[in-house]
Structure 1
Amino acid sequence: MPFLPEEAEGSTRKKVRLAYLVSHPIQYQAPLLRRIAQEQDIEMTVLFGSNFSVKGYQDDGFGVDVKWDVPLLDGYRHEFLPVLRDGHTVRFANPLNYGIWTRLRDGNADTPASTMRGFDALWVHGYITVNALHGILAAKSLGIPVLVRAESWLRDRSRNGLKLATKSIFFTMLKGLIDGVLPVGTLNAEYWSHYLGDAVPQSLMPYAVDNDYFQRRSRQAQSGRSTLLAELKLEPARPVILFASKLQRRKRCADLLEAYLRLSPAPGIAPHPYLLIVGDGEERAALERRAAESGFDSIRFCGFKNQSELPSFFDIASIFVLPSQHEPWGLVVNEVMNAGRAVIVSDDVGCAPDLITDGVEGCVFPVGDIDALTGALRRVLASPETAAAMGQRALEKIQRWGFEEDVRGLRQALAKATGKIGA
Structure 2
Amino acid sequence: MKISFFTNMRTPYRTQQIDTIAANTECEIDIYYVAQKTSTRNWKLDRTRFCSESDINTASFFNKIQTIFKIVKNSDVILLGGHEYIDYVIASIFSILLRKKQVLLCDGISAERLRKEKLSFLKKVVKRLLLKNTRAIFGNGNVTKQYFVENWSYPSKNIFNQYLTVDTKEIKKLSKESHIIKKALREKYNILPNKNVIVYCGRLVELKNIKIIIEALAEYENKDGMVFFIIGGGKEQEMYQEYAQEKGVQIVFTGFLPDPKDVYKQYFIGDCFILPSYSESWGLVINEAAAAGLPILCSTHVGASLDFVIEGENGYLFSPYDRREIKEVIHKLFYMNDIKKMGEISQRISEHWTFEDSSKSFNKLIKSIE
Q: With CA pairs under 8 Å and 6+ residues apart, which has the higher RCO, 1 or 2?
A: 2
Query: Out of 26, 31, 42, which is 1:67 matched to?
Result: 42
Equivalent-residue separation in structure 2 for 1:341 and 1:154 (angstroms): 22
Q: Which residue of 2 aligns with 1:62?
A: none
Summarize the Cα distance change of 1:409–1:196 in structure 2 as closer, same or farther, 3 Å threshold: farther
Q: Which residue of 2 aligns with 1:332?
A: 285
1:333 shift after superposition = 0.5
Q: Which residue of 1 aligns with 2:132?
A: 176
Instruction: Give matches, 1:179-198, under 5 Å.
Output: 179-198=135-154
Equivalent-residue separation in structure 2 for 1:141 and 1:82 (angstroms): 21
Instruction: Give matches, 1:13-412, under 5 Å.
Output: 16-49=1-34, 52-53=36-37, 57-59=38-40, 66-71=41-46, 73-85=47-59, 98-106=66-74, 119-150=75-106, 151-153=108-110, 155-156=112-113, 163-198=119-154, 201-220=158-177, 222-265=179-222, 270-281=223-234, 283-295=236-248, 298-306=250-258, 307-382=260-335, 386-412=338-364
Contact kept in structure 2, 1:319 and 1:342, CA below 8 Å: yes
Summarize the Cα distance change of 1:376–1:310 in structure 2 as closer, same or farther, 3 Å threshold: same
RMSD between aligned residues: 2.6
Question: Where does structure 2 lack aligned partners over 5 or more consecutive residues?
Answer: none
Q: Within the alignment, does 1:417 sit opposite 2:366 as a pair?
A: no
Equivalent-residue separation in structure 1 for 2:143 and 2:100 (angstroms): 28
Higher alpha-carbon deviation: 394-403 or 182-191: 182-191
Amino acid at match of 2:310: T
List 4+ stretches of structure 1 deviating above 4 A: 81-86, 95-98, 157-160
1:190 shift after superposition = 1.8
Q: Which residue of 2 aligns with 1:421?
A: none
Please list the CA deviations of residues 184-205 of structure 1 after superposition, one character each: whole Å capped at 9, or x if unmatched. Answer: 1212112212343245821221
Contact kept in structure 2, 1:240 and 1:275, CA below 8 Å: yes
1:286 shift after superposition = 3.0
1:238 shift after superposition = 2.3
Amino acid at match of 2:30: T
Summarize the Cα distance change of 1:332–1:82 in structure 2 as closer, same or farther, 3 Å threshold: closer
Equivalent-residue separation in structure 1 for 2:44 and 2:94 (angstroms): 35
Contact kept in structure 1, 2:186 and 2:269, CA below 8 Å: yes
Please list the CA deviations of residues 276-298 of structure 1 after superposition, one character each: whole Å capped at 9, or x if unmatched. Answer: 122234643332222121345x3
Amino acid at match of 1:99: T
Higher alpha-carbon deviation: 355-364 or 284-293: 284-293
Question: Where does structure 1 lack aligned partners over 5 or more consecutive residues?
Answer: 1-15, 60-65, 87-92, 107-118, 419-423
1:36 shift after superposition = 0.7
Summarize the Cα distance change of 1:216–1:242 in structure 2 as closer, same or farther, 3 Å threshold: same
Equivalent-residue separation in structure 2 for 1:153 and 1:311 (angstroms): 24
Summarize the Cα distance change of 1:288–1:84 in structure 2 as closer, same or farther, 3 Å threshold: closer
Structure with greater helix share of residues: 2
1:74 shift after superposition = 3.1
Summarize the Cα distance change of 1:276–1:198 in structure 2 as closer, same or farther, 3 Å threshold: closer
Normalised TM-score (structure 1): 0.79
Normalised TM-score (structure 2): 0.90
Q: Computing the radius of gyration over CA atoms, which structure comes out larger, 1 or 2?
A: 1
1:177 shift after superposition = 2.5
Aligned to 1:287, the other structure's residue is in SS state helix
Aligned to 2:95, the other structure's residue is in SS state helix
Please list the CA deviations of residues 10-49 of structure 1 after superposition, one character each: whole Å capped at 9, or x if unmatched. Answer: xxxxxx3222111221222111011011114222222223
Please list the CA deviations of residues 72-127 of structure 1 after superposition, one character each: whole Å capped at 9, or x if unmatched. Answer: x13121231455559xxxxxx8x966412212333xxxxxxxxxxxx321111111
Equivalent-residue separation in structure 2 for 1:103 and 1:21 (angstroms): 10
Equivalent-residue separation in structure 2 for 1:372 and 1:82 (angstroms): 46
Aligned to 1:240, the other structure's residue is in SS state strand
Equivalent-residue separation in structure 2 for 1:395 and 1:217 (angstroms): 13
Equivalent-residue separation in structure 2 for 1:294 and 1:175 (angstroms): 49
